[in-house]
Structure 1
Amino acid sequence: MSEGRGLTLYARILRGEGKYRALSGPKPNARHLWLYLQMRHRGRIPGLFVAGPMALADELRWPIPDTRRCFQEILDQGLVQWDPATRLCWLPNSVRDDPPTSPKAVREWAQEWIELPECDFRDYEVRRGIRRQLNDISPALAEAFDKATGNPSRKGSGNGLGNGSGKQDQDQDQDQKQEPEIPPSDVDPAPATRRARARDGEAGGGGKR
């Protein structure tokens, strides 16, 4: 049995009901969460899925603050890359660890790729990383990936991405190394709202002086 097939089998066990879920579960810890992410979310494209701390806390039946802490540990180690705006998660080594069997298998990723949240993180950081790994395995796999995902042209966006190249691409590479912290709004938007109102109040008070 290949490693990929073994992980798929274990993922089915994790999704199972009955006796397995009746067993006592582990206390929140980053190691278990890391293994869970690898084995629980197994789509056609290895290591690419939508999830956030709140959803994971619900699945694992962990307190949300503990899940956030464990998730942040994984982010800090670079084991996961995550876009807080879309909740798109990417396990950067998944394609290398569980490579596709043929170019045909890669072309079958097309529909799943389209269904993922459309964002710069998917279209550039993730796409570039997956393509590089596929090309290291076989240029034919990289070519099939190009056909499955297209070749997006960079557009300006709120995160500062533009149409340039050269130094801008170098700056983007540096940004990729800085893992995003989980925003407070992922748990409770109320504190952020209260802080915004407080700032507005202070601004208004300053104007009266």
Structure 2
Amino acid sequence: MKCQSSEDLSFLPNKSVDAVITDPPYFDNVQYSELADFFYVWLRLALKDEYLWFKPDLSSRPDEIVKNDRLGKTTDFFSQGLFRVFKECHRVLKDEGLLIFTFHHIRTWAWENIAQVLIDAGFYVSASPIVRSEGKSGFHSNDGNIRYDCVLVCRKRAGQWMERPWASAKEQILQDAVQWTRRTLESGMLVNEVDVFTIVMGKTLEYCHQGISIYVL
């Protein structure tokens, strides 16, 4: 077990891993390390004399891959860091290996960015199932919040891109979104506009990565 940045997986040989399953930061949605400082300051009181990494007043996070305007971490900073992580994942994965992670965001540009990073790192999205990520009583279950995650199942890209007509792909994307929405509503679960947006964007990445040159609806 290692506790370090995934930008450096040099302890793993090439093509030695069957699957990478992770949950990367959602751009600027939640600043997890800043939230963690609430717990850090209390732990520090008991541990600062025993562990060097509890010496600072707040947790150190200069290399955290996230978009944070307050810290000067731009979209490019996030994209470049995530690219380095995914490139390492590509190196250590077997040819038939899978990179699987969850994602959601309310902005189209965030999905575009993820799509481009995956392409640059040598992956394509082969499937994009949607799962409920928030409980019925949680804060994020309120109206207007995203309640579902898109699970992006990625494989190593091999060969050349195949062109597909956008019109037929768009029809398939919308059909998938309608079917998912209908099934979810019939099961008694709530669905709002941003939830539908999540399934549409996930399916758009899936079909785009299978040979469509248009990235947004």
**TM-score, normalised with respect to structure 2:** 0.31
**TM-score, normalised with respect to structure 1:** 0.31
Flag the structure with higher helix content.
1
* Greater RCO, 1 or 2 (C-alpha within 8 Å, sep 6+): 2
Flag the structure with higher strand content.
2
